[in-house]
Structure 1
Amino acid sequence: MLKIILCDDDSFTLSMFSDLLGKAIDRLKLPAKLVCRASTAQELLHFITANPDTYLFFLDLDMGLASLNGLDIGQLIREKSPDSKIVYVTSHIERTLDILKSGVEPFGFIEKDYNQRLMLHEFSECLKKALKKQGAYSPCGHEEPSIELPIGIDETISIPISSITYVEALKTAAHNICYHTFDGSQITVRDTLRHALSLLGENFVQTHRSVIANRMYIIGTEHSQVKLSNGVSIACALGKLKEFRHFRQKQEVR
C-alpha cells in the first residue's frame, strides 16, 4: 500500500489536490491512499513522527509566511524517513536547480496548475511511477482489516478500519452512531460507541463521551478540539485536552 501525504498552506489548493489524488487512485484502482493532508510543516512533521513509515509526499515549495518552506520540510523528511519519495508541486519551476542542489533528492516535480484535468493526469502518472518503483503497480487485490456495518435489512457494507478517522454518537438520533472516513464519507448505523470501540481495537481512543478517534490521524489540538490529519476537528472533553496536547508535544520534532 502506497501511503500519500499532501502538504500545501492554501486551503483551496489542499482540498482540490486531495480530491484529485482520490480520483486518480479510484480510477486506476491503485493500492494507495491519502493518509495526511497538512496545511503546515508542523502538522506534517507531527504525523510522520507519530506514524513512522515510508510515504509518497506531494509538497508545496512556497509555504507563504511559514518559517519552513518546502525545501526545509524536504530536508527534515529526509532525516526522519530517508526512503520516502518527495514530489514538489510548485509554480516555481525555475527553482528546480536549487532543490536538486539541496540534497533532498526529489522523486519528481509537478508544475502547479488549476486545470483539474491536467493535474489529474500529472498525479496519475506520478502515482503509477511510484508504485512501479516499489514493484507494487497492480490493481488493488490486497485485503486489510475491515468492519462490516449494517445499513439495512440483510444489507451490510464493509469498510477498511484504517480508513475510519472517527466515530460519533448522533444527538439527533438516539442509539445511532456515525462512522466518518478520511475522504469525508459518512455511514450511520444503530449501535453504541462502546460496542464500536470494542470492534475497532486499541488504535482508537475516546476523545469525548460522544466521539472516538483513530490515533493514527490525530495531529494535535486546536481551539479546544482535537485536529485530525484530514483537516477535520472533533470534540474533546476539557479534561482530556491536556492529554492530547501532551500527546502532540511528545511526538513533536525538536
Structure 2
Amino acid sequence: MSYPIIICEDQLIQLHQLETIIQNYILFHDEPFEISLKTQSPVEVKNYLKKFMPKQGIYFLDIDLNHPINGIDLAEKIRERDPQAKIIFITTHDELLPLTIKRRVETLGFVEKDQPLEAYRAEIIELLSIAQKRIDSLKVEQNRAFVFSIGSQTFTLDLEEVWFIETSDIPHRLILYVADGQYEFYGKLSELSDKYPTLFKINRSCLVNLNNVKEVNYKNRFVYFSPDLFRTFAIGKAKKIKEALTSL
C-alpha cells in the first residue's frame, strides 16, 4: 500500500541528499511512502517502468542527467507507462519550465537546487504531501479507495489491495488482510459491507475481495488467498460464490 518513489539524479551527492530528506520524512512522519528506485541513470528508470509497471508513482527527476535522455524526455516516457504519475523536477535550470509545459509532461512541482537547504527540504516535503493527497483523491473519485483509520492516521488503499476483512477478538475492532500484512482498526463489518458492495460476505464475520481468491474448495468450504491463508464460507454461500466468480 506504499506510494512508490523513484529518484533519478546524475550527481551522486545530490542523489544521496534527496534520498536522505525523503527517508527522514518517512521515518519521522510514518507516511506510507517507499523509495522503490534511486539511480543516476534514466535507462534504469525506463527498465523499472517496463518490469514493475508502477501505478501513480512519485518521480523526482533532474533535468540535466548528462545522458542522451534528459529529464524531460524521461518524464514523457514515464507519462506513457504511468499516466497518473506525479512528476517533480529537481534542477538548476528553471528556465526550462516553459519547455515542460510545451511538452505536456504535467509536472507537480519544479524545485530549484540552488537555494538554502531548509527551503529545499521544505519544498520536497510539501510536494510529497500534495502528491499523496492527489493520489488518494483520485482513488476516492474512481470508487477504488478503501479508507480506514488507525489512531490519528488515515490510510487510503486501492480496493484491489484488499484480501479480506474479519472481526477481531477485541470488541468493535476489525482486521484487514493485504498481501504484505494486516492492520487492525475500529469499525463495523456491516457498515463496510454497505459502503463497499464489491466485497463479498462469505460468513457473518468476514468480507472478501473475490478478485484476490486463489482457490475455492467447495467440499470443505474454504476460500484460499495463499496456501496457508484461507477462510471458511457459510453453507448457503457456495452457489453465490460460484456466480460471483463467474462474473469477474
Rounded to whole Å, the distance in 1 between the matches of 2:76 and 2:48 is: 16
Q: What do the CA deviations read for 1:188-236 (whole angstroms, capped 9, x no partner)?
A: xxxxxxxxxxxxxxxxxxxxxxxxxxxxxxxxxxxxxxxxxxxxxxxxx
Check whether the contact 1:28–1:139 (CA below 8 A) recurs between aligned residues. Answer: no
Q: Secondary structure of the equivalent of 1:135?
A: helix
Counterpart position of 2:88: 87
Post-superposition Cα deviations, 1:11-60, rounded to whole Å, max 9, x if no partner, equal 11111111111112222221111110011111111112110112100000
Classify 1:44/1:140 alpha carbon distance in 2 versus 1 (closer, same or farther; 3 Å). farther
Q: TM-score, normalised by structure 1?
A: 0.53
- The equivalent of 2:191 in structure 1 is none
The answer to whether 1:97 aligns with 2:132 is: no
Aligned CA RMSD, in angstroms, stands at 2.5
**Distance in 2 between residues matched to 1:144 and 1:117, nearest whole Å:** 37
> Contact 1:57 / 1:87 at 8 angstroms: preserved in 2?
yes
The 1:132/1:10 distance shift into structure 2, 3 A limit, reads same
Q: Which of the pair has more CA radius of gyration?
A: 2
Residues 89/42 of structure 1: CA separation in 2 closer, same or farther (3 Å cut): same
List, as ranges, runs of 4+ consecutive aligned residues in structure 1 with deviation greater than 3 Å: 113-116, 136-144
* Structure 2 spans left out of the alignment, 5+ residues: 138-146, 158-177, 182-248
CA distance in 1, matches of 2:101, 2:10: 23
1:22 counterpart letter in structure 2: Q
Distance 1:20 1:114, change over 3 A: farther
Q: CA deviation at 1:145?
A: 2.4
SS of aligned partner of 1:33: strand
2:230 corresponds to? none
Would you say how many aligned residue pairs link Structure 1 and Structure 2? Answer: 147
**Residues 2 and 33, structure 1, Cα contact 8 Å, conserved in 2:** yes
Query: 1: CA distance between counterparts of 2:95 and 2:51?
Result: 34
What TM-score results when the alignment is normalised by the length of structure 2? 0.54
| 1:60 partnered with 2:62 | yes
Matching of residue 145 in structure 1 with residue 180 in structure 2:
yes
Q: Percent identity?
A: 26
Residue 36 (str. 1) matches residue 71 (str. 2): no
Cα offset for 1:112? 1.4
Q: Which runs of 5+ in 1 are unaligned?
A: 147-254
Q: The residue matched to 2:84 in structure 1 has which SS?
A: coil
Q: Using the alignment, how far apart are the partners of 1:7 and 1:140 within structure 2?
A: 30
The one-letter code sitting in structure 2 at the alignment partner of 1:9 is: D
> 1:1-254 maps to which residues of 2 (within 5 A)?
1-54=2-55, 55-64=57-66, 66-113=67-114, 115-135=116-136, 139=153, 145=180
How far did residue 134 of structure 1 move?
A: 1.9
Rounded Cα–Cα distance in structure 2 between residues aligned with 1:145 and 1:82: 25
**Contact map agreement 1:87 1:109 (CA 8 A) in 2:** yes
Q: What CA distance in whole angstroms lies between the structure 2 residues aligned with 1:81 and 1:134?
A: 13
Could you tell me which amino acid in structure 1 is paired with residue 18 of structure 2? Answer: F
Instruction: Name the SS for the 1:27 alignment partner.
Output: helix
Specify whether residues 62 and 100 from structure 1 end up closer, same or farther in structure 2 by C-alpha distance, changes over 3 A only: same
Secondary structure class of the residue paired with 2:107: coil
Partners of 2:128 and 2:179 in 1: CA distance? 20
- Residue 157 of structure 1 corresponds to which residue in structure 2? none
Contact 1:63 1:69 in 2 (8 A): yes
